[in-house]
Structure 1
């Protein structure tokens, strides 16, 4: 029996699981680098025609590139090894980190995303500030180990070794009960249309809940990730109060994003000059420390 879009069902499940199947295909391709249509057909128990349609859709999203008889990873949506990501665009991440640290006020509660950019932001935080950092990122925790003046709350759940983060329903349930002054979020990619996406399915959902739990939402992303798309879209640039980006961003990208972003802070990479703010602070921004009495840990 065919589905409404002409696809064959996966076992006895409904055609509505086609999105789940495509995410599974993307994860396989990204993990293995290359895969054949016939192999995917056998593993997912659907026809090769269905697989070819899925691959076409994923190629349109920029997640993979179709080849004769299969597909290869593009490298844009992959959860790249931590050791490799830690050295990629290091100067840009450090510039962004300094600009993010300058936004933090004493006594604030911060929600911090996982990843190498967030690890750099954590390392730049002022130690004697009385702030509390809530995170599910192992690299963020490691950056704060020697900062005795900063309190750290680690969200508990299932450890994902490769991206070094903690996921699971327990993380989401805890975030539902919290309120923070600021949420610092990063991502794998930002489209020219302002769409924000990430390679990790589970972390994308956690990012959404972090954003919901904070009075002020700050996106920290280096310029090399702009103009690309990753597997899981979780937000739009207009959902954030502030975008922090390095000064290697192209004028064209800056102009396009400037039409959507509430405020952009451009962090200088190669000089000691202060960051440049291209828009006024959102009037909805919360007062510093306003969440400190409302967050049950």
Structure 2
């Protein structure tokens, strides 16, 4: 086995995913020895895969999380909340002039439902977005129904996809499990279909991804980087990751960090 190849993190994580798919479990110590890297490196890789919903860390290694779905919505919502607020605030400025905004399912996108300007029409299949929009009296809401998915707290399936196709959208705001040179990646096939449809019906599409998603991996490809007009991430992004995506053709925007509460 060529150990030199596995000094590259994306290739190493791909190999870990391949082994997980084939065996259902990987041992940190064994795979570190076989790939020619430290056990600490493997543990770091497995932590990233767990954050992406692609593995579940257990004593001595990691196992499959279950049928390829990502981490539950409520579990993901508490991760990187400051970065997600900064991304949402930066995205709000990019919605100026948009009358109809489609909001995807995702913990980074959901806060926008409470932030868009009065008079906006929101279209969404996300239960948290729909609930937040219902609580406002100054916007219009079009809720997209379908098969409910607890792990994403959203509706999906053929009915949802057909419903989205009936509307003309000024801006679609999407989320993703990962984004790399190959494009936009997710962990749920039904979720991928709706993202494709949202991008198709929108005049402008913005992808919101916190810095942990840059260069990460997920099993299902939604589309290339040209599926969206802008990729918006947070100030914690590694400049090398940002440059890699720019070189691959992405229009990148990095949201400035928000001032800490109580700090003047």
Aligned equivalents of 2:111, 2:213: Cα separation in 1: 16
Q: Residues 197, 182 of structure 1: CA spacing in aligned structure 2 closer, same or farther, 3 A cutoff?
A: same
- How big is each residue's C-alpha offset from its partner over 1:169-194, in whole Å with a ceiling of 9 and x where there is no partner? 11111222222111101101112x14
Cα shift at 1:35? 4.3
Aligned equivalents of 1:248, 1:85: Cα separation in 2: 17
Tell me, yes or no, if the aligned pair for 1:190 and 1:229 is still in contact at 8 Å.
Answer: yes
- What 5-or-longer segments of structure 1 have no aligned partner? 1-25, 37-58, 66-70, 273-297
Q: Give TM-score scaled by structure 1 length.
A: 0.64
Aligned equivalents of 1:107, 1:242: Cα separation in 2: 15
Question: Which residue does the alignment assign to 2:71?
Answer: 80
Match of 1:257 among 227, 245, 250: 245
- How big is each residue's C-alpha offset from its partner over 1:38-62, in whole Å with a ceiling of 9 and x where there is no partner? xxxxxxxxxxxxxxxxxxxxx9xx7
Confirm or deny that 1:98 pairs with 2:86.
no
Superposition CA RMSD, Å: 3.0
Tell me, yes or no, if the aligned pair for 2:98 and 2:171 is still in contact at 8 Å.
Answer: no
Question: Which residue does the alignment assign to 2:153?
Answer: 164
Match of 1:182 among 146, 167, 171: 171
Aligned equivalents of 1:269, 1:218: Cα separation in 2: 19
Aligned equivalents of 2:112, 2:99: Cα separation in 1: 15
- 1:154-233 alignment runs, 5 A limit: 154-191=143-180, 193-233=181-221
Cα shift at 1:146? 2.4
- How big is each residue's C-alpha offset from its partner over 1:9-57, in whole Å with a ceiling of 9 and x where there is no partner? xxxxxxxxxxxxxxxxx9xx89xxx947xxxxxxxxxxxxxxxxxxxxx
Q: Which protein has the larger Cα radius of gyration, Structure 1 or Structure 2?
A: 1
Aligned equivalents of 1:80, 1:74: Cα separation in 2: 8
Aligned equivalents of 1:100, 1:124: Cα separation in 2: 10
Confirm or deny that 1:109 pairs with 2:100.
yes
Tell me, yes or no, if the aligned pair for 1:113 and 1:185 is still in contact at 8 Å.
Answer: yes
Cα shift at 1:73? 2.7
Cα shift at 1:143? 2.5
Q: How many corresponding residue pairs?
A: 212
Report SS of the residue matched to 1:133: strand
Match of 2:116 among 125, 145, 151: 125
Tell me, yes or no, if the aligned pair for 2:98 and 2:170 is still in contact at 8 Å.
Answer: no
More helix by share: 2
Tell me, yes or no, if the aligned pair for 1:198 and 1:234 is still in contact at 8 Å.
Answer: yes
Q: Residues 144, 261 of structure 1: CA spacing in aligned structure 2 closer, same or farther, 3 A cutoff?
A: farther
Q: Residues 234, 270 of structure 1: CA spacing in aligned structure 2 closer, same or farther, 3 A cutoff?
A: same
- How big is each residue's C-alpha offset from its partner over 1:230-254, in whole Å with a ceiling of 9 and x where there is no partner? 1210022232111111011101011
